[in-house]
């Protein structure tokens, strides 16, 4: 008998499967928002592991997302004609592999960025990840293989009947897997170490915790899921440009984590859902969208600095 948490995950995946079966009958706009929400939850829950639970401050999530997006898109589009026959012409095999590869390259990038900067105390991580995001953008703009400044076009999307099912399922399943992984990592004696590092690094070291290793683990796992989210994003939008993964995108995710109450599972998921739906709804206001969105954020931050959904029910606590 698997533990309750794994049964919950299986049930959630089953729901994702059922939803996928009905995706064809959904209103396209609704489906679009639903998929965006899926990507946002993956991004917010994984950044929450780094910034919320482990107490670090990363501004690099859009950068890792870009790494994953371009890796996955290269595998399904640029190399797709060669790779697809190798997996029996099955997008159901190729897409998960491409997403996984996107996650791995993002995780590798996360390790290269995190390992040197997480050894140091203080705000180095924020500065280094900020720089990393910009560097990735510039690199992508100058590599012709991935389309340079124009980016990549014509990726398989939900409009392609052969790909639609797997894209929808993966986008609905990924947030559930991400939440399970983050929850599982934290809910063990080992995992309480992440929270201890966030609370007091000096005391954590004194209790025998390798704080550097904890921080790097959180960072690399977070980067992995940002990469997966990037891969999903690529196959929802169908086009990728380096400019799409700028500083604003990183900030958007940071805001979800802050409004979710930093280091709260449910709060951050709800904040990701709410802000994504809001931002999609505001599209009809055209250019005023960003102003309205920013104003709203200011009001929310001023009135609920502790997070939108912070009441005892969802207090961070042992399960």
Partner 1 sequence: MFMTTPLLQLTDVTIRFGGLTAVSGVSATVGERELVGLIGPNGAGKTTVFNLITGVYQPTEGRIEFAGEPTAKLRPFELTERGIARTFQNIRLFPSLTVFDNVRVAFHLHLAHDAVHSLTRGPKFQREEVELRERTRELLSIFSLERVQEEPAKSLSYGDQRRLEIIRALATRPKLLLLDEPAAGMNPAEKVELMKLIQFIQEKFRLAILLVEHDMKVVMGICQRIHVLEYGRKIAEGTPAEIRANPAVIAAYLGKEHA
Select 163 or 214, whichever has its Cβ closest to partner 1.
214
Which tokens in the block code for residue 128?
């280094």
Out of 23, 125, 209, 258, point to the residue binding partner 1 (CB under 8 A). Answer: 209
131-139, 145-153, 160-168, 209-217 -> range binding partner 1 (CB under 8 A) = 209-217
Stretch 170-189: interaction string toward partner 1, x if CB under 8 A: ----------xx--xxxxxx
Out of 200, 285, 295, 311, point to the residue binding partner 1 (CB under 8 A). Answer: 200
Stretch 64-103: interaction string toward partner 1, x if CB under 8 A: ----------------------------------------
Tokens 């720089």, located at residue: 131
Contact between 259 and 75 (Cβ < 8 Å): no
Between the CA of residue 289 and those of 28, 256, 280, 284, what are the distances in Å?
Answer: 21, 17, 9, 8
Q: Can residue 161 be called a binding residue for partner 1 (CB under 8 A)?
A: no
Q: Can residue 10 be called a binding residue for partner 1 (CB under 8 A)?
A: no
| Binding-site size, partner 1 (CB under 8 A) | 35
Report the SS3 class of residue 240: strand
- For the chain, the 3-state helix, strand and coil shares in percent, each to the nearest 5, are 80, 0, 20
* Rg for the chain, CA atoms, rounded: 19
Partners of 119 in the β-ladder: none
Q: Can residue 211 be called a binding residue for partner 1 (CB under 8 A)?
A: yes
d(CA 46, CA 224): 8
d(CA 102, CA 96): 10
Out of 29, 122, 145, 202, point to the residue binding partner 1 (CB under 8 A). Answer: 202
Tokens 């399970």, located at residue: 180
Out of 20, 217, 279, 310, point to the residue binding partner 1 (CB under 8 A). Answer: 217
Binding site for partner 1 (CB under 8 A): 2-3, 5-6, 180-181, 184-193, 195-196, 198-200, 202-211, 217, 316-318
């Amino acid at each position: 008998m698997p533990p309750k948490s794994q049964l919950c995950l299986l049930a959630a995946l089953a729901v994702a499967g059922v939803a996928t079966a009905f995706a064809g009958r959904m209103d396209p706009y609704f489906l679009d928002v639903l998929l965006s929400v899926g990507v946002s939850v993956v991004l917010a829950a994984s950044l929450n592991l780094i910034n919320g639970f482990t107490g670090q401050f990363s501004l690099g999530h859009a950068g890792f997302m870009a790494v994953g997006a371009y890796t996955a898109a290269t595998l399904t589009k640029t190399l797709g004609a060669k790779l697809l026959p190798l997996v029996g012409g099955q997008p159901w095999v190729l897409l998960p592999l491409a997403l996984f590869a996107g996650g791995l390259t993002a995780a590798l990038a996360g390790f290269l960025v995190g390992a040197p900067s997480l050894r140091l105390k203080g705000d180095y991580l924020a500065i280094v990840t900020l720089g990393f995001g910009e560097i990735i953008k510039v690199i992508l703009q100058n590599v012709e293989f991935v389309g340079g400044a124009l980016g990549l076009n014509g990726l398989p999307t939900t409009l392609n009947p052969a790909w639609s099912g797997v894209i929808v399922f993966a986008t609905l399943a990924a947030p559930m897997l991400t939440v399970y992984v983050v929850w599982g990592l934290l809910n063990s004696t080992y995992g309480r170490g992440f929270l201890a590092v966030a609370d007091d690094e000096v005391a954590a070291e004194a209790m025998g915790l390798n704080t550097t290793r904890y921080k790097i683990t959180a960072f690399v796992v977070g980067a992995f899921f940002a990469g997966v989210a990037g891969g999903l994003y690529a196959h929802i939008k169908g086009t990728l440009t380096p400019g799409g993964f700028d500083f604003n995108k990183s900030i958007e995710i940071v805001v979800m984590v802050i409004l979710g109450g930093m280091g709260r599972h449910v709060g951050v998921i709800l904040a990701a859902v709410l802000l994504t739906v809001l931002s999609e709804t505001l599209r009809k206001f055209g250019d005023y969208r960003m102003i309205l969105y920013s104003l709203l954020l200011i009001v929310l931050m001023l009135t609920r600095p502790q997070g939108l959904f912070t009441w005892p029910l969802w207090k961070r606590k042992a399960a």
